Structure 1
Amino acid sequence: MTDQAHAQAARTPKMLIEEMNRTRTPQDTAAVWFLGQESVVIKGGDRIIYVDPYLSDELEQKAGIQRAYPAPLSPSDVGNADAVLITHEHDDHMDLTTISVIAKQNPCTIFVAPGCCHAAMREAGVAEDRLYAAECDRWKEYDGFRLKPIPAAHEELEETEHGHRYVGYMIDMNGVMIYHAGDTVVYPGLLERLQEQPIDIGMVPINGGDAFRRQDGIVGNMDFREAVKLASAAKFDLTIPLHYDVFAWNGERPGYFIDYCYEYDPYLKTKVMARTERMIYVKD
């Protein structure tokens, strides 16, 4: 292990949170931290957004499913969330244990999620006046950023009485446009939605899906080839792969994603993030 890797591995939750708080992001820059699976933290200006924070052992408690490595933060470490975005109700995305703690100790945090998630989130302690619906295909202004939820197909588009069951998010903050896909395959109309605005950072799942996992009730996503082709067609300035590392039986090797980038579009800029790594994006 390199000295840099040793230093990365030795970082405590307190050090990670302090790094988020002290990181400065001038106009047209954004900072991203990778927490595993599809959990990321994004900072632009003085606003910090957590997307799908999966920081507990929720799945181990419910189904005996263990994480491949411990969460880099515990729910009680999160005292700096201005917003929490939830893409759908699966436990590794809508982690109610984490949501409950964040809601309790962060009285100003807002939460955005598909409407079908709201009842469970209210039961977890999220106040009604802090909980917003992810209404697809329309921009909504918040304090310091704006959002446009994008329908996601995990593996199919599904609508409930409350709207789309699965979503991704367009996040426009500090002059940087970010797309977090959530869990999705590439469906008719997704590319056209993404081409409506230039996307600086695109974050996409790469773990794919197969018949054997479906037999076990594991719903799939786009695979690494589809992720590369979508990023290339949508002209993301930078592409970050997600959803490959927390569960060995439902992951992928990110090296396959990089290899296919080189084969399919060698000019496509990509970044495989180390656990807890901070990346600072500077818009050209």
Structure 2
Amino acid sequence: MTQAKAERIAMTAKDFEKTAGTKVYWLGGGGAMINSRGTVILIDPLLKGFDMKILTEAPLLPEDVPHADAVIITHCDNDHFSKVTLSEIKDRIDSVHTTKYVAGLCKEIGIEAEGHDIHESFMVNDVKITLTPADHAWQNDSPKHSALRHYEMEDFCGFRIETADGVIWMPGDSRLMEEQLHQEPMDLILMDISDSRWHIGLPGVEKMAAAYPDTPLLPIHWGCVDAPEWKEFNGDPEVVRNMIVNPERLHVKAVGEAYEL
């Protein structure tokens, strides 16, 4: 199988400085950074220490992060909950927010995190963030993982992020849910385009794109891990472009490249 490969643009301390508007950066894989008028929020940052071969490197290393107002984490998979990354940036982040289960995992590695319920909201400066539901309990299908713990729906989430310049939705890793098709309007969806059965999958991408026909889409979860046999890490924006309504709103960005609301 041939993989689509993401391009990469290095990020610098300048990307963390106060801005006039809101910029969204894909950090590679399922991660992103938002800089909203100087409020910096890292979503599922995996900047170092992944246990698979990398195709496209992260746009910066943990030591390149000068400061973040918050880290928000969707779930416990190690391509989203990076213990190495969090441990190396913990002294330069003001807060960590996630589900209650993942907050407990953070505590185990010496990181204080606030755990939230699905649909609960919290503030990071003047940015309002609400947990949205996600269906990604693949561990319950695994004899190895299910023997240790039964995973609940509330252990996984997405985030609706309301800034002064617009609303960003990170659905997180999730099979398509009916509730996800009936959200309030948003100004950008960070769209997982991998075709795995425990992710939204291409039929789900098509349905979600149709549910929000005018919303810009920034494809993520593709082109960064050198694993052609793993659907979870693959996807091709050009395949998606050919199957969604209003394909001109698909904004394919390099890892580390800014999208401005």
TM-score by length of structure 2 reads: 0.83
Alignment counterpart, residue 191 of structure 1, candidates 175, 181, 191? 181
Alignment counterpart, residue 136 of structure 1, candidates 118, 131, 142? 118
User: Which structure is higher in helix share?
Assistant: 1
The CA deviation string for residues 71-101 of structure 1, in whole angstroms up to 9 with x for no partner, is 2211121122111110000000000110111
AA aligned opposite 1:78: V
Checking the alignment, whether the CA contact within 8 Å between 1:84 and 1:110 is kept in structure 2 is yes
TM alignment of 1:130-279, pairs within 5 A: 131-154=113-136, 164-192=154-182, 194=183, 197-209=184-196, 220-235=198-213, 237-247=215-225, 248=227, 249=230, 250-261=233-244, 265-266=245-246, 269-279=249-259
Alignment counterpart, residue 15 of structure 2, candidates 20, 27, 31? 20
Checking the alignment, whether the CA contact within 8 Å between 1:225 and 1:257 is kept in structure 2 is no
| Alignment partner, residue 33 of structure 2 | 41
Gap change, CA 1:236 and 1:37, over 3 Å in 2: farther
Question: Any stretches of 5+ residues in structure 1 without a counterpart?
Answer: 1-7, 60-64, 211-219
Structure of greater relative contact order (alpha carbons < 8 Å, 6+ residues apart): 2
Runs (4+) off by over 6 Å: 156-163
Checking the alignment, whether the CA contact within 8 Å between 1:244 and 1:252 is kept in structure 2 is yes
Give the C-alpha shift of residue 160 in structure 1.
7.2
The CA deviation string for residues 179-211 of structure 1, in whole angstroms up to 9 with x for no partner, is 00110111232212x1xx22001112111225x
Checking the alignment, whether the CA contact within 8 Å between 1:47 and 1:82 is kept in structure 2 is yes
Gap change, CA 1:88 and 1:172, over 3 Å in 2: same
Q: Distance in 2 between matches of 1:88 and 1:279?
A: 24
Question: Any stretches of 5+ residues in structure 2 without a counterpart?
Answer: 1-6, 141-148
Does residue 96 of structure 2 align to residue 111 of structure 1? yes
Q: Distance in 2 between matches of 1:71 and 1:267?
A: 27
SS at match of 1:246: coil
RMSD over aligned Cα atoms: 2.5
- Between stretches 147-156 and 34-43, larger displacement belongs to 147-156
| Alignment partner, residue 144 of structure 2 | none
TM alignment of 1:81-120, pairs within 5 A: 81-103=68-90, 105-106=91-92, 108-120=93-105
Q: How many residues align?
A: 242
- Between stretches 241-250 and 85-94, larger displacement belongs to 241-250
AA aligned opposite 2:45: P
Gap change, CA 1:267 and 1:89, over 3 Å in 2: closer
Checking the alignment, whether the CA contact within 8 Å between 2:19 and 2:37 is kept in structure 1 is yes
The CA deviation string for residues 226-245 of structure 1, in whole angstroms up to 9 with x for no partner, is 21321221345211111112
SS at match of 1:241: strand
Give the C-alpha shift of residue 222 in structure 1.
1.3
Gap change, CA 1:157 and 1:142, over 3 Å in 2: farther
**Identity over aligned residues, as a percent?**
21
TM-score by length of structure 1 reads: 0.77
